[in-house]
Amino acid sequence: MKFPKLQYLFRLDDICPTMNWDNFFKLQIIFEKYNIKPILGVIPNNQDTQLNIDLPREDFWQIIRDLHQKGWIIAQHGYQHKYVTNKSGIIRLNKYSEFTGLSYNEQFKKIKNGMTILEEKIGERPVWWMAPAHNFDKNTCKVLKKLNFKYITDGIALFPFKKYELYWIPQQIWRPQKKSFGTWTICIHPNSVDNNFIRQLDFFIANNIEFLNRVDLTPKKSVLNLLFTFYWYGKEYFYKFLKNI
């Protein structure tokens, strides 16, 4: 099969028992209406009080299991979602992390603990990784490989690529945006969407359905990946440079 010219994936971040359930269910209705299976970033043992929006739902794991049964992808979203370092990691989007800068052994313990919880609750080991704040480092990747993870939903590129023996499915946008080619993951935080966003999402999916229902995760070697990465980070340095002169 020819690699699709354009494809979109969706990921939902900060899935935990105390998230904004009203928003979550509204998003679920839209994804189910179009039969789209997003990547759910589930926090195994949330300790981040900023994510306490609603009272915890007792049937949280049952809901996650049901969605998993329906084919939604479960990604491990860290362990406790608690930021303990101020380093910026591989992606360099944020300067706070649950993992970046910690030793291999410290990271192994946390990721293994989280993985065990997900395995117990869902009945299957996660193979997708979603780092809180997009922040992780080479040691994280070594641990993930050791624990048989396969995919990372992150990376500034135009196509899926392989690095540190893991498949990276790039994630570059935070709202629906029309693109002409490449693999784009749209990152959505159910805690912070509003009705306007949800309406736009519905409209976007309805108009782009052909790019949403067949996703090819095969890594693609392309010089465009490198150019896109240079463009993305170069832009950031260029603006900093301009600000400083």
Q: Give the residues lining the site for Zn ion (CB under 5 A).
A: 13-14, 132
Q: How far is the CB of 81 from Zn ion (least distance, A)?
A: 6
For 106-112, the CB contacts below 8 A with 24+ separation are 107/139, 107/140, 107/143, 108/143, 108/146, 108/147, 110/78, 110/79, 110/80, 111/76, 111/79, 111/140, 111/143, 111/144, 111/147, 112/143, 112/147
Q: How far is the CB of 21 from Zn ion (least distance, A)?
A: 17
Nearer to Zn ion, 76 or 225 (CB): 76
Q: How far is the CB of 22 from Zn ion (least distance, A)?
A: 19
Nearer to Zn ion, 19 or 169 (CB): 19
Nearer to Zn ion, 13 or 154 (CB): 13
Handedness of CA 184, 162, 36, 130 (dihedral sign): negative
Q: How far is the CB of 14 from Zn ion (least distance, A)?
A: 4
Strands 128-129 and 151-153: parallel
d(CA 57, CA 62): 10
Q: How far is the CB of 13 from Zn ion (least distance, A)?
A: 5
Nearer to Zn ion, 11 or 26 (CB): 11
Nearer to Zn ion, 47 or 218 (CB): 47
